[in-house]
Structure 1
């Protein structure tokens, strides 16, 4: 909970003026590389943890909000760089986060929608990654838990009581 709260606070407090000058594709690529690095670190932490299930929950509490907040930040920057990028002009940070969660949840209320080609492309990328995050991402975390539990389980063939 604390890590999620910190990430959300950072999203609302960090000035995004610094990344407005960087091309969107470069920012998105960097953001996704950071997300993959954090995920890889989390998987490694799960496999080495004494309590892999608890560690997997912690990993999900970090990676899921990070994923959503990275897209929300991208949408916020794009909306402020191009007022015609979305149907609702001048998205606030809350609007951008709302839109990101709406796309992630596949609700699609239609109150905010992408109107430029660049924002439509980014929304499509998010939709595809949503499927990967929900499918492969969760499978990777669960696989790390299972691998850790398998590594700590005693080998029945090496049990001295069984061999007698």
Structure 2
């Protein structure tokens, strides 16, 4: 009987991990498969801004679902598995398109993998220095990513933790 009570938790955890992997993998797969023939111009910059607004809206919606979830901890993991890769891939796409439209924007030409690598070194604050922003536009975009990353890690992490706490409190008050 005790084993039966533990299974739904395990099942829910495995399901959350599986969904997280599928979402993250799907986003990376889309990044590599979607055509990116448009150079970075006013329309693609608008796309970046709209993309950042969409990531923010997705994050706020995810916070709400975390607080209302019967398993807020698992929902938080799933939420971060969607928001973080989307943020990273949005900037990787922007850097890739910028390099295509303005060659020399970075210290070396960027493939999709190079753009993703650069984005991850910036967001993780590792900054190996092998690829750097060489033009003012590339530097501005990188600064926006740095600020966005700080906000995502600092403020968003705190908001997610509070949503998990609210979800636990709601769940505990409903069950007892």
3-state secondary structure, aligned to 1:58: helix
In 2, Cα distance between equivalents of 1:39 and 1:18: 27
| Contact 1:19-1:27 at 8 Å conserved across structures | no
Distance in 2 (CA, whole Å) between partners of 1:141 and 1:103 is: 22
For structure 1, the residue ranges without an aligned partner over 5 or more in a row are 160-164
User: How does the TM-score come out when normalised to structure 2?
Assistant: 0.82
Q: TM-score, normalised by structure 1?
A: 0.88
| Distance (whole Å) between structure 2 residues aligned to residue 24 and residue 128 of structure 1 | 20
Q: 1:16 and 1:38 mapped to 2: Cα distance?
A: 23
- Which residue is equivalent to 1:15? 35
Deviation by residue 1:119-144 (Cα, 9 ceiling, x = unmatched): 00010111111111111111111111
Alignment of 1:83 onto 2:97: no
Aligned to 1:26: 46
The match for 1:110 is 129
1:45 deviates by 1.3
Gaps of 5+ in 2: 1-20
Deviation track 1:75-100 (CA, whole Å, cap 9, x = no partner) reads 001010000211102x1100000000
Aligned pair count reads 155
Aligned to 2:113: 94
1:2 to 15, 18, 22: 22
Contact 2:104–2:134 (Cα < 8 Å) also in 1: yes
Separation in 2, partners of 1:101, 1:27: 20
Query: Is residue 171 of structure 2 the alignment partner of residue 152 of structure 1?
Result: yes
- State the alpha-carbon separation in 2 of the partners of residues 87 and 18 from structure 1: 21
